[in-house]
């Protein structure tokens, strides 16, 4: 891990005031913003600025995140906590940005005590208590229902309850049983479909683990909610309770401004 970190070129945060053309350029690349009510878009901008002031951006492999990169990542990262508040991302500071996909060295000891060492290509990674690592090429490109930044920050929310397992700490009034039931049913169904080689509307990577299913569903929940609602309405409902927003509701009927902590 130390050798890995040595490659990182560190730059400081830049809480400079954001000029209107920069906001416009960044927001033009995020079509999901159209789904937000005007009050939520304003709240998201404020959260993004706070995010930039409290997180430390670093570039890896000679990549230097400029203001466009930082603001773009901040805006996407704050979408999942629009109704939860930035406190959900407390306890760590780093956002490390690679220019492109990167390699993660892995060391795993199997059940027989044999050590396996290998390298894994990644577009993003979230460390429990540590930084979020992102590939800018993947964070910038928008594909239908796919968002690497939301994915990694959903893992961060999941980790608030310990190891990522697809069950973040739920709010008062939410049912753990209802969450687990909805998650298990949806995950089992999805894994079966992927195993059978079926073409899926969700990223097949979601079949890897319940934690990945939660992260992938979170991407779709915010960027293409119709897809998730159609496939797994019960889990969609649980996500709307957790994230405290339902982007399928007409904006005028949504509650706004409830930035409570989880
Ligand atoms: Zn993941």
Domain regions of the chain by residue span: 2-253
> Distance, CA 184 to ligand 1 centroid (Å)?
17
Report pLDDT for 255.
64
Report pLDDT for 233.
98
> Distance, CA 133 to ligand 1 centroid (Å)?
11
Reported as a single tens digit per residue, the pLDDT across 80-95 is 999 999 999 999 999 9
> Distance, CA 154 to ligand 1 centroid (Å)?
9
> Distance, CA 168 to ligand 1 centroid (Å)?
14
Between CA 247 and CA 240 the distance in angstroms is: 8
> Distance, CA 215 to ligand 1 centroid (Å)?
6
Mean model confidence pLDDT for the chain: 89
121: helix, coil or strand?
strand
Query: Which pLDDT band holds residue 247 (cuts at 50, 70, 90)?
Result: very high
Give the H/E segment covering residue 243: helix 233-243
> Distance, CA 152 to ligand 1 centroid (Å)?
6
Reported as a single tens digit per residue, the pLDDT across 160-204 is 999 999 999 999 999 999 999 999 999 999 999 999 999 999 999
Torsion of CA 121, 126, 127, 128, to 10 degrees: -140
> Distance, CA 90 to ligand 1 centroid (Å)?
20
Report pLDDT for 6.
37
Query: Which pLDDT band holds residue 1 (cuts at 50, 70, 90)?
Result: very low
Reported as a single tens digit per residue, the pLDDT across 252-262 is 776 655 444 34
> Distance, CA 91 to ligand 1 centroid (Å)?
20
Report pLDDT for 108.
84
> Distance, CA 150 to ligand 1 centroid (Å)?
10
Report pLDDT for 145.
75
Q: Which CATH number fits domain 2-253: 3.60.10.10, 3.40.1360.10, 3.30.2130.30, 3.40.390.10?
A: 3.40.390.10
Do 140 and 101 touch, CB atoms closer than 8 A?
Answer: no
């Amino acid at each position: 891990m130390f050798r890995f970190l040595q490659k990182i070129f560190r730059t400081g945060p830049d809480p400079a005031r954001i000029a209107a053309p920069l906001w416009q350029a960044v927001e033009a690349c995020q079509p999901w913003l159209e789904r937000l009510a005007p009050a939520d878009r304003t709240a998201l901008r404020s959260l993004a600025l706070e995010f930039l002031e409290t997180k430390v951006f670093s570039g890896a492999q000679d990549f230097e995140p400029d203001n466009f990169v930082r603001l773009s990542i901040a805006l996407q990262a704050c979408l999942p906590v629009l109704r939860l508040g930035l406190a959900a991302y407390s306890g760590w500071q780093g956002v490390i940005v690679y220019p492109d996909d990167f390699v993660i060295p892995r060391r795993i000891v199997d059940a027989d005590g044999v050590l396996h060492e290998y390298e894994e290509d990644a577009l993003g990674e979230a460390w429990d208590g540590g930084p979020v690592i992102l590939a800018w090429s993947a964070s910038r490109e928008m594909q239908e229902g796919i968002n690497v930044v939301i994915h990694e920050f959903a893992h961060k929310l999941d980790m608030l309850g310990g190891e990522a397992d697809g069950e973040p700490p739920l709010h008062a009034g939410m049912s753990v049983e209802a969450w687990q039931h909805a998650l298990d049913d949806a995950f089992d169904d999805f894994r079966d479909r992927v195993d059978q080689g079926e073409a899926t509307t969700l990223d097949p990577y979601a079949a890897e683990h319940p934690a990945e299913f939660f992260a992938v569903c979170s991407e779709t929940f915010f960027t293409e909610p119709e897809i998730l609602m159609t496939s797994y309405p019960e889990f969609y409902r649980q996500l709307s309770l957790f994230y405290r927003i339902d982007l399928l509701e007409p904006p005028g009927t949504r509650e706004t401004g409830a930035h409570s902590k989880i």
